[in-house]
Amino acid sequence: MFGWRVPAPNEAMLISGGKQRKTDDGALPFKIVSGHGAFVVPIFRKASFLTLAMREAVVTDDCVTQQGITLLVKAVIAFKVGSDQASIAAAAQRFLDDQDQMDELTGQIFAGHLRSIVGSMTVESIIRERQTLAENVLDASKVEMGHLGLTVDSLQIQSIDDKGSGYIAALAAPHLATINQAAKIAQAAADQASAMAQQESDRNQAEFARQTAIKRAEYQAEIDTAHARQAQAGPLAEAQAQQAVLQEQSLVAKKNADLREAELIAEVLKPAMAEAERIKTIAKAQAEATKLSAGAAAAEGRIALDQQLITQLPELLRAAAEGLQGANLTVLNGAEGLNGTVASLASQGIAILKSLSAAMPSNVEGEVVYEEDVPAEET
């Protein structure tokens, strides 16, 4: 758009040619615009731009210390124009036409303060306390930089040199000696460790060579053994095969013998034992039958004999009675006495029968028991 101007993010636009702006420091001949655009009337207004970007100034200056030792000190300052309206106005009034003057002027300001601060310190403190030196220089230059509208972001002391006087080297000599001694000790230890490592490596190599030789010998021995076994494999295998055949034949013969033994037991021994048992059983049965037959025959003969005796008993009693007929017997108690006499005769007959039976041989199990009558009372 014609007449519309916009500053870059790191710039401030200064519009001059109009009503003057009032600030705390007085009237400003320009309007400050940053962060947005503005309309600039052609011919009647003019737009200028002031950088707000970071800038750098390098200071390299000879500084004399408190001890009178000249040091060449190099420092780097990072700075920029402040972002507030007052700082932009102050910087614009001083550097708008030649903005590179900011670097030169800043370097001169810091060089003066650097010489002043270094003059109040010793070489040892400067070397050991660089950060303190930088902070002191910053504090000393802050007011002046503020008047210029500039702010300092950082100050770094890059190097300190005694310009060949040897003072810093002399300061460092004891430390260098200590360091060198420690370095030599460390080097000696490293050399010793290296030598020991080399010796250990040599021993390991020798041991490796020895083990390799042993392995090769063992390997060769295994190869020789394998060749010997291979050479003997044919006859040995044949002998082993024959031995295996003989063992199998022996097992077969033993199994055949066991089978034949079982067949003999089944075919001969067991039938013979069964036949003997059968004959024994038949003999026992026959003997038992014979015994029973003999007992029956004896019993039958005894029974027949007893029957014959019983048949003769009346005759015996009659003969006894006939003998009594001629006897002179007197019966005192009548019928009772007569009955007693008859009973006595009967008892005598029974006794005669038993006497005859006892006189006969008896081989029959059990005996015939005759019940005797109660003896008659004597008259």
Tell me the average pLDDT across 175-190: 85
Alpha-helical segments (H) within 120-268: 123-128, 130-147, 167-264
Residue 250 has pLDDT above 60, yes or no: yes
The phi-psi region of residue 283 (left if phi > 0; otherwise alpha if psi is between -120 and 50; otherwise beta) is: alpha
Residues 49 and 104 occupy one common structural domain = no
Of 165, 180, 215, which marks where a domain is finished? 165
The residue ranking higher by pLDDT, 376 or 30, is 30
pLDDT at position 305 is 65
Axis-axis angle for helices 101-119, 85-95 (nearest 10): 100
Task: State which residues form the domain around 156.
Answer: 56-85+96-165
Residue 304 lies in a domain: no
The DSSP symbol for 374 reads P
Tokens of 75: 């420092």
Whether pTM exceeds 0.75: no
Residues 125 and 66 occupy one common structural domain = yes
pLDDT at position 138 is 92
Tell me the average pLDDT across 301-312: 68
Q: Is 371 helix (H, G, I), strand (E, B) or coil?
A: coil
The number of folded domains in the chain is 2
Residue 76's CATH number:
3.30.479.30
Share of the chain above pLDDT 90, in %: 24
Residue 201 lies in a domain: no
- What is the distance between the alpha carbons of residues 53 and 46, in angstroms, rounded to a whole number? 22
Of 39, 45, 41, give the one whose Cα is nearest residue 4: 39
Residue with tokens 């003769």: 312
Tokens of 344: 């006595």
Q: For residue range 127-142, list pLDDT tens digits in order.
A: 898 999 999 999 999 9
pLDDT at position 253 is 83
Residue 238 lies in a domain: no
The H-or-E segment that residue 116 falls in is helix 101-119
Contacts 24+ apart (CB under 8 A), 169-176: 171/123, 171/124, 171/127
Tell me the average pLDDT across 71-86: 92
Residues 81 and 37 occupy one common structural domain = no
